[in-house]
Amino acid sequence: MRLSGLALLICFLVALAALLIAYPWEVYQRNFHFPWQRTLISYFVLGIMMTALGAVTPSLLLGRILTLRRGVKSGIAFASSSLVLLLILPLLFSGPGLSLDLPGTRVQGIFFAEWKFIRFIVEVALPFSGTTAGLCLWLNHKQHKP
């Protein structure tokens, strides 16, 4: 199963909205002296990463599992998306992990510095995973309708 461009756009917009709600733009523009373009790029880059990881993972998995009930597929989609987001992104960018940062961005500083990765997991990754799982399930059901 492949996600449509519209589904990917929806995933990206949900990711961006979740990031802006959990990490308000004003906090990072008012309290830090970085150019606003760098902050904006950071939100967009992480939104794109979330979309790629969170939307593609369940769609790949659901495309291979056609015989399961919808509820089971939904659970698998949510779990796979959540695990990828909950494990990979915080491990890459947070203090307990590799503490990577992308050049020209503030992804690590805004979203994962110190204990902010816990906020990412609870307030961003879980709601986003639910949305992507629902989208994938809906698209899978729509494509396999008799």
**Average pLDDT for the chain:** 78
* Whole-angstrom distance, CA of residue 129 vs CA of residue 137: 12
Which residues, 6 or more positions from 92, have their beta carbon under 8 angstroms from its beta carbon? 98, 100
What end-to-end distance do the CA atoms of the chain give, in Å?
16
* pLDDT cut 70: percent of the chain above it: 75
Pull the structure tokens for residue 64: 């291979």
* Whole-angstrom distance, CA of residue 48 vs CA of residue 125: 13
pTM: 0.79
Number of compact structural domains in the chain? 1
Any long-range contacts for 124-127 (C-beta under 8 Å, 24+ apart)?
124/15, 124/18, 124/19, 124/22, 124/50, 125/50, 125/54, 125/82, 125/85, 125/86, 125/89, 126/82, 126/86, 127/14, 127/18
Per the model's pLDDT, the better-predicted residue between 129 and 63 turns out to be 129
* pLDDT cut 90: percent of the chain above it: 14
Q: Does pLDDT of 97 surpass 70?
A: no
* pLDDT tens, position by position, 34-48: 888 989 999 999 999
- Look up the domain containing 32 and give its range: 5-143
Contact 133/58 with Cβ under 8 angstroms? yes
